[in-house]
Chains A and B, each alone.
Chain A
Amino acid sequence: MTTPEQSSSSKFLLFLGCAIPYRVSSYEISTRKVLAKLGIELVEMPEYNCCGLPIDPVSHEMLLTLAARNLCLAEQQGLNMVALCPGCAGTLRKVNKKLKENKELKEKINGYLKDTGLEFKGTIEVKHLLQLLAEDVGIEKIKNAVKKPLTNIQVTEHSGCHVSRPIEGVGFDNPENPQILKNLIEATGARYVEYTDKIACCGAPIAGVNDRIPLQLSREKLGHVRDAGAQALITVCPFCHMMFDTNQPRIERMFNESFKIPVLHYPQLLGLAIGFSPEEMDLKGLRVDPTQIVSQVFGKAEGN
């Protein structure tokens, strides 16, 4: 039996989740290329299912069971998992922790899993992409990989709630004053600006029951980002990305306001810095046109 804790931390089982293959392939494309270049090997996850988070409101037991099934599949492979979606990462981390700590609950969930021939043992760990970049690749290695420092652009982040919340269960970074994504952005050479209510939620999780509130929230955030003078917003969550990028034209129409703020997945930004072309990073997969910052990165004088 392989014990993943001891195995090299350069090989991970990739948990893609639902939203990324459904609508946000630019995140997946850029992540795969960037991680490969940084020496991380991704293994495809066989027969995975939804982490369970979307149906938590219907049945928490089903969430626990769906998450546990994924964890069991990873245990069979003897590999730690990396999830690109903070919702998936947070859910899998929380459930992994709960089942490891709570024997009674573990037995109950194993009872549900029995019929599918699986059993949760608690032998692997789950990380979100940010955590992998910060802990397994490391800021120094990332800095050293930078070939084209993005010194002439100024950006900011929206890291998303589930990267670090709830503290109990997820336990990564400081949700009240997050540092990890900031450090990772600065490692690319880009200037980082702060803005009002940086840690506020984008509203995406309730978009299925109310479309007004999430758009109002995202509009407010985009306004703060613009006011701070950021030329792009950097995200690490498919849902936050959909709110700020996919929905940006809709927000502009709805509130009769102009933002034109490109929203890049962090791996896209990093990719540009470590030598990938905009095409390789699938920047054309974005809704809001990033041409301006791209030309600034590549020095085709845009003034500023």
Chain B
Amino acid sequence: MTKTMPEKKPKSKTKEPLKTAKKVTITPQPTPPEPSPTPPIQNVEEKTSASKIAEAAPIKAHEFDPHFKYEISKMHGGENLKQCFQCGTCTSDCPIARFSDTYRPRQIIRMAQLGLKDRVLSSDTLWLCAACFTCTDRCPQGVEVASVIRILRNAAVERGVIPPIFKELSSSILESGIAYRIPELRLKKREQIGLPPLPKSNPEAMEKLANATGFSKTLKKGEQT
């Protein structure tokens, strides 16, 4: 792996946020990197990205957007964001965090609370939540952690940040109604083994819904990046 350590590490001053940002940056593999044989997919955590460097940079006062937490609180699932007191239950119980050097739900929640909008929305780690809802179920403050992360992802997509897998899933749904393109051969095999044929898809309905919800427009934003 290439070194991701920034030359200068953020030093104190605004204690709380810096702690958060610093933790995100301490990436240089404490765990042995596993050789992945033929990685067919982009490993978000392992690439060196501009976002990581952005996270490493000291936080400037102008980065805080005090309205951000209110915006999130208005969304379904974001209502209790302000209740988070940073106990860390989410991170300590997170199955992904155990195997990731960078993914820490508590930090994501803190960045959202502080309004570090640009940092959190461009952060790669945002895409590592498996939505298992363990954090949501265990949060003593009733913060729907996984839902807040979903809100942040939706907001990131609106800025044109969308991992390729979600583009694929989306376009498949628009074309065929379902998330994967099932090969013709498999459809034939269904019938051979006595399974009923899959129902016809309704791409017109999908298109109408995508237009009505603004989903089509959202996807186009992702194409520009």
Chain A residues near B (Cβ < 8 Å) = 16-19, 21-23, 25, 28-29, 32, 44-50, 54-62, 65-66, 69, 98, 105, 111-116, 161-162, 165-168, 175-176, 200-201, 203-217, 250, 253-255
Contact = CB atoms under 8 A, between A and B. Distances in A.
Nearest to B208: A115
17 contacts: A18-B179, A25-B190, A25-B195, A48-B177, A50-B173, A54-B179, A57-B127, A59-B215, A60-B77, A62-B213, A115-B208, A116-B205, A205-B131, A206-B96, A208-B163, A210-B44, A212-B46
B208 A116 contact: yes
Interface string B93-136: 00110111000000000000000000000000001111111101
Interface of B: 34-37, 39-46, 75-77, 95-96, 98-100, 127-134, 136-137, 144, 146, 150-151, 153-154, 157, 162-163, 165-166, 169-170, 173, 177-180, 182, 186, 189-190, 193, 195-196, 198-202, 205-206, 208-210, 212-215, 218-219
B217 to A, nearest CB: 10
The 3 closest A-B pairs by CB, nearest first: A208-B165, A165-B133, A49-B177
Contacts of A214: 130
A179 B127 CA distance: 32
B219 A254 contact: no
Contact of B198 (A16, A29, A215, A250): A16
Contacts of B41: 207-211
Given A44-B199, A161-B133, A165-B137, A58 B44 contact: no
Nearest to A61: B213
Given A49-B173, A212-B34, A58 B218 contact: yes
Contacts of A162: 132-133
Contact of B212 (A55, A105, A112, A205): A112
Given A166-B136, A217-B95, A46 B199 contact: yes
A55 B133 contact: no
A22 B186 CA distance: 8
